[in-house]
Chain A
Amino acid sequence: MNSQYMPQQPPQYGASPGSGFGPSQGGYAPQGPNKPAPNQSGFQQPPQMTGLQRGGPPPGLVRGNLPPSGSNISHSVPNGPSHGSPNVQGPHMQGMPIQSALANPGFGPANYHSPGGSPMGHPGSPSQPPPSGPPPMQPHPGSGPGAPPSPSPNQMTAQMAGMNIGGPPRVPTSNSGLPNVPNKAGMTPPASSPPNNYPGAINGGPPPAQGPPAERLPGKQYVNGSMGPPPISGGGPMPPHMAPHGGPPHGMGPSPHFGGPPQPGGMPSLSQGGMPPPPGGMMPPQNNLPPHPGGMPPPRGGMPPQGGMPPQGGMPPQGGMPPQGGMPPQGGMPPQGGMPPQGAMPPPGGMPSHGSMPPPPGTMGGMPPHGGPLQGNMPPPGRMPYPQPGVPPPVDTYQGSMSGPPSGPYGSQQNMGSAQVQGHNYSQPPQSHPSMQSQQARRLDPDQMPSPIQVMQDDQRNRSGIFYTNQKGQVPPLVTTNFVTQDQGNAGPHYIRSTMYNIPATIDMMKQTAVPFGLVLSPLARTADEEYPPPIVDMGELGPVRCIRCKAYMCPFMQFIDGGRRFHCLFCKATTEVPAEYFQHLDHTGQRVDRFERPELTFGTYEFVATKDYCRNNTFPKPPALIFLIDVSYNNIKSGMVHLLCKEMKEILKLLPNDAGAKQSVMRVGFITYNNTVHFYNIKGCLAQPQMMVVGDVQDMFMPLLEGFLCDPSESEAVIDSLMEQIPAMFADTRETETVLAPAIQAGLEALKASECAGKLLVFHSSLPIAEAPGKLKNRDERKLLATEKEKTVLAPQVNTYNNLGQDCVGAGCSVDLFVFNNSYIDIATIGQVCRLTGGEIFKYTYFQADLDGDRLIADIKNNISRPIAFDSIMRVRTSTGVRATDFYGHFFMSNTTDMELASIDCDKAVAVEIKHDDKLTEEDGVYVQVALLYTSCGGQRRLRVLNLSFKTCSQMADLYRSCDLDSIVNFFSKQVVFRLLESSPKQVKDSLVNRCAQMLACYRKNCASPSSAGQLILPECMKLLPLYVNCILKSDAVSGGSDMTIDDRSFVMQAVSIMDLPSSVVYFYPRLIPLHDIDVDSSDIPAPIRCTADKIRDEGVYLLENGVHMFLWIGLNVGMDWVQNVFGVHSAAQIDIDRTALPELDNPLSQRITSLVSTVRQQRHRSMRLTLVRQRDKLEMVFKHFLVEDRGFDGSASYVDFLCHMHKEIRNLLS
């Protein structure tokens, strides 16, 4: 956000670039970065620029530490290698310390600089010190910095975060060196690496960074504030810690070699890192292989938890760091300096910019030892390479050993991470080799890489409040930011967001930048409490005034001329006569005198009451209806679903929506049950009892009754009540397991047709429809095919019955929501087509049990029917000449190329529209978009909702990169990718996304961020999280779900993604991880989330993770007894009943707080998530960890660091 502003108001920033950042950074390091920024370009560049030095060296420090622990580590030499990462930990540790000192603050900036950078930073910081970094650093800085600075300035301007990845170099080394080399490299690297790190901190750095990142965990620990302790432990404790950590010892081992002393601090940190051990392990192999191996494993085992502690230890580093620490505290700048370390990136750039950089170096100086370690770390990375080659196995072994100790696993994972990094390095090596040979696999400190958490917090800080839409091309605050829209001529971002707000003027520029021009539309989004709902304009018989040529609706963009007798359309440039009834004089400014009385001339969002011309058959619609279709076959009866639903129906029906101002809903309801036949119910209010009508002709479904099927729920209350008692009773003994589905939906459709109204079907279905009827499906549950080139065969519908049915439904304004209660394969890919085409969605409750999942179901249903919704709608996107909406993604049906037919659309759904250039745009005109949604309201009124949005055009790429909305891009990409998965092979799709991402960034790098060293990763400010998010998309279940999930789950999430609105997609791709163990009982806010990585998770912690689909409560084994007692009513984590899906309600503040928090979180999502309890080291932990998206996935998917490195490599490829 700042960045966006920045461009606009460079001077200001220049004046106080820090401020710009500051906010985001939170006054910490941010300032530092800011300062650097100013220095460099006067902008943010410095901050943006973050030299990512791999923590590799630090690990070295760690190693130093490790040695002591080494004994512990004795276990696995193999681990050692993989542990190389532990070394990294060392760096992390260092990073940690730094962070600790500056750390926390620093992170902010670091993040800014570059997430990738941050790791770098960490390593950097650590590395810098250890490597003797200072000198090298400087040199590099000199070169790098020099370059960085400039780049940084650019970056600054661009608001980019440059990431120097030492990695690349390392990679080369690693590659070249392979295991041996790495080792050597590791050894040697220290020297060289440091420089590398510094200069192109980003280079090779990243990978190492990863290593470090793992170690960073400690960093997190810092955050914990346990920092202090660690140091303590660090010193003496270290060993002990180490011992416990096991890992650390390893790290220690190596570390000692390097900069033992400084390391001590680092040591602890390393040990803390737990991670360190692994690196250490890595190191060990090199240096202290024996110890490492042995020590490594053990550390992990016990260490992990301790590892958490270690972070604390990390704190100690601070202790050790003191200087550093001092630094940070000293001046915001220094901190920055410190920051630099954090964002290794910053150091380079920031350092220079700061000018105070020296201090950082100084701090670094303190660090140096670290630096040494870093280098040392580097080696580990080097090892990593080894590991890579052989890594997998070692890793495995680690894991194996790790597995035992919970923390261990982390360590191992971290190690893994580092290993991965190395892997990247490998890949990179070839590229980076030339430049960064000396640097071996370095690790990026994950904490130094751009952090979404930080970005969100900063944006929240800077941009909450009121957002006025009075200017064209304004970039709105982030989706996650709480703000109030004041509609002053453009539709609010709740309704419509664009991926970019400055539209490139030329097609060529669009191609070059590769940034998509897409809109994400949620025309029915809820309005915030402080906002006014869109005003409704009733033009009477006249109807909406429209452009004579393009039929655009009257809006603030229309220009009245000729004394108000005609108006000029900004969309198509045509001039239209103003109808006599609509005529109004113009004032001296050429504006209509009545413009403030007419919403359509003032607001960006408003509604017209439609005339008969806009209605089906030219008659006003009847109020829409809601039909419940309940599968009453054996499964649903047995699971208690039918019983529950019927029991709750009365309450559910009270929630039917109504138009604003209406006293009660006029929507009618109807009920259908089905198994292998379809049963309609006559619930006419005058009947003494409901009448059931069975239609057995499933081949040719029809509507058996006319009156009495759809009734006003209040008029027929008694009959409905009676029916709801009867349904469970009637089918209580059913043995029917063969069900139909298509005929049931057809039945609902026919019912709506017969009643001549639009509406929605809520289908409660249990099993694969195998009864002899249309839509009969075969079981093709071959999940092996998932994530392979053949996955389309199971992800595409097996028959087109449901597609045809969906189209029929759309034709009748009938939307279908499927509630699925499957115990086995149900083929959502096929049956979901009905939802897809009709603007519906799927709710899935696998292995549903009423007593466990009932609340969720009922909450979902209630939300489903009560939310704002439009029926029988058609949406069209009109654009000004030069651009045109071409591609549409979401749940709807299109019978032509322009109109989206949505049988319904509600507040939780979004569609994405891609807009492409037809022609060159002129810079003065801007681009205008008008989205018109013609729909039937829940009160039965035919209306048009019009959303208007205007954009600027630009001819400078920098302008474009300044105005992008990353959340929208991610949402857009995700929908596009999911769509394409059904057309092309998954590999093609993913590669193309990665390539596009690289192209976007490379283009920026090339055109907006030069000059800087090629090794530097420079990211545009507003897209600095792009690599992270793209990686998250790629890793997401929807895109990459493999055979560890069911085909149905996969199809389900794919559908979910294709309808996700922005708030959902943000959290879906980057889950929210909320620490609960130190929650403030007196507050009612949701605690600040932390980054999604295992590094941040501590044994004694409890975390809530949610992504809008799943929700986990992870409980560390060492969590405080009080906490467990208060929340679960048992004595220890081990006694908690993991199978429960709700927290017990106990009478104490903590329990109440946690319970209410969970429910608050649930309420924020439109699907009620199942709460899964995960105890550390239980089987389910794997699943939980799957959602720690910054980490490397179990399926081999890249960690954030890995991906960033990869991205960097790609960018470099593109640039070279």
Chain B
Amino acid sequence: MTTYEEFIQQNEDRDGIRFTWNVWPSSRLEAARLVVPLGCLYQPLKERPDLPPIQYDPVLCTRNACRAILNPLCQVDYRAKLWVCNFCFQRNPFPPQYAGITEQHQPAELIPMFSTLEYTITRAQCLPPIFLLVVDTCVDEEELGALKDSLQMSLSLLPPNALIGLITFGKMVQVHELGSEGCSKSYVFRGTKDLTSKQIQDMLGIGKFASPQQAPQQQGPPQARGPGGQPLPPANRFLQPVHKCDMSLTDLLGELQRDPWPVAQGKRPLRSTGVALSIAVGLLECAYPNTGARVMLFVGGPCSQGPGQVVNDDLRQPIRSHHDIHKDNAKYMKKAIKHYEALANRAAANGHAVDIYSCALDQTGLLEMKQCCNATGGHMVMGDSFNSSLFKQTFQRVFARDQKGEFKMAFNGTLEVKASRELKISGAIGPCVSLGTKGPSVSDTEIGLGGSCQWKFCTFNPNTSVALFFEVVNQHAAPIPQGGRGCVQFITQYQHSSGQRRVRVTTVARNWADATANLHHISAGFDQEAAAVLMARTVVFRAETDDGPDVLRWVDRMLIRLCQKFGEYNKDDPNSFRLAENFSLYPQFMYHLRRSQFLQVFNNSPDETSFYRHMLMREDLTQSLIMIQPILYSYSFNGPPEPVLLDTSSIQPDRILLMDTFFQILIFHGETIAQWRQLRYQEMPEYENFRQLLQAPVDDAQEILQTRFPMPRYIDTEQGGSQARFLLSKVNPSQTHNSMYAYGTEGGAPVLTDDVSLQVFMEHLKKLAVSSTA
């Protein structure tokens, strides 16, 4: 048999799923003793170009409480044309159209290789995606110009039938009517007044129509309506198909002016982000409830008035820092968070996503607004300037398309999880909201967003992953018979970017094992990478609510307990401590996690913290691992590029390092290389090889830059350069100003830090793990 590594890889490729444990403990108690919870990281939309297009509806288990979907794991009686649900064991007849199936002639959903399958629901309506641009005009001319360019460019990236709308805001909020000729129209709202959804609708003149239930039907494909036909949907004026308003919107954007209200010396511009977002949400809520849509919010500074205000307009008062928050000195924060959370929940309830593109040198209030993105799956992008390639490229990449030319984004998705009786679902951590759907398989114990077996993903893309946590319900006294398998089925319904309604089903099964007797079976099935990511998500999720030290302590305790459980050692003998290979990297991940920006707020603004955590919560396993433990490559004349330890020792004068922290791509030139470069050897023909050496990491970096979303910050620095700090803050400080004199300096560059190095960390870990008193 193949190794677990291969098995895991295969599973990930096929189903986009990674379990922390690939053999499941058969009782609740044993599960609890595993320290790392039973869970998985699932990519609902993992790219599967090889999937066959299934144009019919899935077959459901007829038991009302179950409604699981026919899958390859089901037992099928071909003669009786019956299938047995593998979750509730209900015997279900096949529907009439399956009359012709035989063992040789199986439908795709019964073929084992299609444990993940995607159905296209053809009878559902096709709805074009909706994009509502919410643009901050309180930025300087250059910024605004760049932003306008990007927005105008984006029009060409949108499908012609996509609906688009525009809201601009500064001191006031303007909702622009599109497609009006001769006179551009907009509806203006005061930026200081919190309006209810109904008020907004009334003021926009769209509230009189249709209750939310009727509205979706009314909308129809708007382009299908014509003058003289039925009344156009009320919001039609604000959301128009791109092909209709392309020109006028381009002009509108072209004429967009900076917010004209004067900003006094020493003041911030008055920016009404909170109200603007509220209006955007209100508009969509009324016009297109339960339809895929994204609000794209572009902010160039903090909201400084009205609801959602994060700072006042007096420049003497800086925006809150972690320190302020810690001291409970951030007077606007809680109120603002409440405001944005409420908006996020409203948006999520209607399947609308909120993207935030924040470009400013200072913070813009992402901390307060984060829930808008986190709950709805919207993007959060943090940059310095709209005029930077970081923003431009990133924004462009939002509209990336797959090989079929379709957007790599899905809308208004719902993930439902079904599990065997032995399992219950504790919760999910990811860019989603719990739908609060109770069911027999919902656990009372919550981890992350629990209390439900369904979660809403207002928008998600192939990279999006969600961590799901399970609970084994079997009591120790009544273990599951050996050889049995537990099943989990993930049903993701979503609106494809083409407008189609699709359902993707993934069904997986794992063996049960009795941990008391066969712990080695279970430990062998440990996926340390998945575990690291899941633990990271759990920790970060806790960190959002808990205080820093507690969280760190929890991380440490969990690590120690895991080592105690699965390490091989003699009591009280640290040197005897050994970990199995599939556990060996886990402590290192935890070490870097502890040092990471996810848990350490020092030197980070609250906004940055929010942004980093946001990304960790949604990216797939590989990317998440990069975030936790950056990758370091070394380039030298000595050979091809090689990955090296994230350690000070890797910093050598004759090397070029390429570090990928996910958020940054950093090229670091060793001291010697830097000198050479400064002397411009690379321009001399005889040093062509040097030029190539310099170019190699740049090319590699470009490759990464081209694919990653959001685009990382690209840093080119050298030994002693100011930006080298990014590297130095990440590497394991095996050499510090404390230790350098002891070891000499030839091995690398010392780092000025009091942090413990990985070696020290490990030593302490061993000590604690083997301690009988711990």
A residues sitting closer than 8 Å to B (CB atoms) are 677, 679-681, 687-697, 700, 702, 704-708, 722-723, 725-726, 729-730
Write out, one digit per residue, whether chain B residues 168-184 have a CB within 8 A of any chain A CB (1) or not (0).
00001010000010111
A692-B172 in contact given A697-B190, A700-B193, A707-B260 (Cβ < 8 Å): no
Task: Name the CB-closest residue of A to B207.
Answer: A696
CA distance A691 to B187 in the complex (A): 11
Contact A693 B183 (CB under 8 A): no
Q: Which residues of A contact B199 (CB under 8 A)?
A: 697
**B contact face: mostly helix, strand, loop, or mixed:** mixed
Q: Which residues of A contact B195 (CB under 8 A)?
A: 697
Contact A693 B193 (CB under 8 A): no
Contact A688 B187 (CB under 8 A): no
Q: Least Cβ distance of A720 to chain B in Å?
A: 12
A680-B255 in contact given A691-B183, A696-B202, A696-B203 (Cβ < 8 Å): no
Within 8 A of A (CB), among B713-755: none
A722-B182 in contact given A688-B255, A704-B172, A705-B260 (Cβ < 8 Å): yes
Q: Which residues of A contact B262 (CB under 8 A)?
A: 706
Q: Which residues of A contact B186 (CB under 8 A)?
A: 691-694
Option from A689, A702, A704 in Cβ contact (under 8 Å) with B184 = A689
CA distance A638 to B261 in the complex (A): 38
Option from B183, B189, B190, B255 in Cβ contact (under 8 Å) with A722 = B183
Q: Least Cβ distance of A1042 to chain B in Å?
A: 42
Best-buried of B183, B199, B260, B261 by chain A (most CB within 10 Å):
B183
CA distance A1064 to B193 in the complex (A): 48
Q: Which residues of A contact B81 (CB under 8 A)?
A: none
A695-B188 in contact given A687-B255, A707-B260 (Cβ < 8 Å): yes
Contact B187 A689 (CB under 8 A): no
Contact B188 A680 (CB under 8 A): yes
Q: Least Cβ distance of B435 to chain A in Å?
A: 33
Q: Which residues of A contact B204 (CB under 8 A)?
A: 696
State whether the Cβ of B251 lies closer than 8 Å to any Cβ in chain A. yes
CA distance A679 to B185 in the complex (A): 9
Option from A688, A691, A700, A730 in Cβ contact (under 8 Å) with B190 = A700
State whether the Cβ of B107 lies closer than 8 Å to any Cβ in chain A. no
A697-B203 in contact given A702-B190, A706-B260, A730-B183 (Cβ < 8 Å): yes
Q: Which residues of A contact B440 (CB under 8 A)?
A: none
CA distance A700 to B199 in the complex (A): 12
Q: Which residues of B contact A693 (CB under 8 A)?
A: 174, 185-188
Within 8 A of A (CB), among B202-236: 202-205
Task: Name the CB-closest residue of B to A705.
Answer: B260
Write out, one digit per residue, whether chain B residues 140-177 have a CB within 8 A of any chain A CB (1) or not (0).
00000000000000000000000000000000101000
Contact A705 B183 (CB under 8 A): no
Q: Least Cβ distance of A494 to chain B in Å?
A: 44
Q: Least Cβ distance of A717 to chain B in Å?
A: 16
Q: Which residues of B contact A687 (CB under 8 A)?
A: 255
Option from B185, B255, B260 in Cβ contact (under 8 Å) with A692 = B185
Q: Least Cβ distance of A754 to chain B in Å?
A: 9
Contact B184 A697 (CB under 8 A): no
Contact B205 A704 (CB under 8 A): no
Task: Name the CB-closest residue of A to B200.
Answer: A696
Q: Which residues of A contact B255 (CB under 8 A)?
A: 687-688, 691
Best-buried of A690, A696, A697 by chain B (most CB within 10 Å):
A696
Contact A696 B189 (CB under 8 A): yes
CA distance A697 to B189 in the complex (A): 7
Task: Report how many residues on chain B are interfacial, defined by Cβ distance under 8 Å.
Answer: 24
The contact sample of 11 A-B pairs, CB cut-off 8 A, is A689-B182, A690-B183, A691-B185, A692-B186, A695-B187, A696-B187, A696-B189, A696-B202, A706-B262, A725-B182, A726-B182
Contact B183 A692 (CB under 8 A): yes
Task: Name the CB-closest residue of A to B171.
Answer: A706
* 8 more A-B residue pairs beyond the given contacts A705-B188, A722-B183, with a C-beta to C-beta distance below 8 A: A679-B185, A691-B183, A692-B180, A693-B188, A696-B187, A700-B190, A706-B262, A722-B182
Q: Which residues of B contact A691 (CB under 8 A)?
A: 183-186, 255
CA distance A697 to B204 in the complex (A): 9
Q: Which residues of B contact A726 (CB under 8 A)?
A: 182-183
CA distance A723 to B180 in the complex (A): 13
Q: Which residues of B contact A679 (CB under 8 A)?
A: 185
Contact B193 A706 (CB under 8 A): no
Contact A688 B183 (CB under 8 A): no
CA distance A695 to B185 in the complex (A): 11
Best-buried of A688, A705, A725 by chain B (most CB within 10 Å):
A705
Q: Least Cβ distance of B494 to chain A in Å?
A: 34
Contact B184 A706 (CB under 8 A): no
CA distance A725 to B205 in the complex (A): 24
Q: Which residues of A contact B187 (CB under 8 A)?
A: 677, 693-696
Task: Name the CB-closest residue of A to B199.
Answer: A697
Q: Which residues of A contact B189 (CB under 8 A)?
A: 695-697
Q: Least Cβ distance of A750 to chain B in Å?
A: 11
A692-B184 in contact given A697-B193, A704-B172, A707-B260 (Cβ < 8 Å): yes
CA distance A1021 to B182 in the complex (A): 67
CA distance A87 to B187 in the complex (A): 75
Contact A705 B182 (CB under 8 A): no
CA distance A677 to B237 in the complex (A): 16
Contact B193 A688 (CB under 8 A): no
CA distance A691 to B195 in the complex (A): 24
CA distance A730 to B193 in the complex (A): 29
Q: Which residues of B contact A681 (CB under 8 A)?
A: 183
Write out, one digit per residue, whether chain B residues 49-64 have a CB within 8 A of any chain A CB (1) or not (0).
0000000000000000
Contact B183 A723 (CB under 8 A): yes
- Nearest 3 A-B pairs (CB), nearest first? A696-B203, A704-B188, A726-B183
Q: Least Cβ distance of A1112 to chain B in Å?
A: 43
Q: Least Cβ distance of B486 to chain A in Å?
A: 56
Q: Least Cβ distance of B137 to chain A in Å?
A: 12
Contact B261 A706 (CB under 8 A): yes
CA distance A681 to B183 in the complex (A): 9
Q: Least Cβ distance of B256 to chain A in Å?
A: 10
CA distance A837 to B257 in the complex (A): 38
Q: Which residues of A contact B188 (CB under 8 A)?
A: 680, 693-695, 704-705
A677-B205 in contact given A696-B189, A704-B174 (Cβ < 8 Å): yes
Q: Least Cβ distance of A1215 to chain B in Å?
A: 69
Best-buried of B186, B189, B193, B260 by chain A (most CB within 10 Å):
B186
Write out, one digit per residue, whether chain B residues 525-551 have a CB within 8 A of any chain A CB (1) or not (0).
000000000000000000000000000
Q: Least Cβ distance of A514 to chain B in Å?
A: 57
Q: Least Cβ distance of A738 to chain B in Å?
A: 12
Q: Which residues of B contact A704 (CB under 8 A)?
A: 172, 174, 188
Task: Name the CB-closest residue of B to A704.
Answer: B188
A688-B185 in contact given A697-B190, A702-B190 (Cβ < 8 Å): no
Task: Name the CB-closest residue of B to A696.
Answer: B203
Q: Which residues of A contact B185 (CB under 8 A)?
A: 679, 691-694, 730
CA distance A457 to B204 in the complex (A): 64
Q: Least Cβ distance of A1070 to chain B in Å?
A: 50
Write out, one digit per residue, whether chain B residues 266-309 have a CB within 8 A of any chain A CB (1) or not (0).
00000000000000000000000000000000000000000000
Q: Which residues of B contact A723 (CB under 8 A)?
A: 183
Q: Which residues of A contact B183 (CB under 8 A)?
A: 681, 689-692, 722-723, 726, 730
Task: Name the CB-closest residue of A to B172.
Answer: A704
CA distance A687 to B183 in the complex (A): 10
Q: Which residues of B contact A697 (CB under 8 A)?
A: 189-190, 193, 195, 199, 203
CA distance A691 to B172 in the complex (A): 15
Q: Which residues of A contact B251 (CB under 8 A)?
A: 688
Task: Name the CB-closest residue of B to A725.
Answer: B182
Task: Name the CB-closest residue of A to B259.
Answer: A706
Task: Name the CB-closest residue of A to B175.
Answer: A694
Q: Least Cβ distance of B39 to chain A in Å?
A: 48
CA distance A725 to B183 in the complex (A): 10
CA distance A348 to B234 in the complex (A): 86
Q: Which residues of B contact A677 (CB under 8 A)?
A: 187, 203, 205
A696-B174 in contact given A688-B251, A705-B260 (Cβ < 8 Å): no
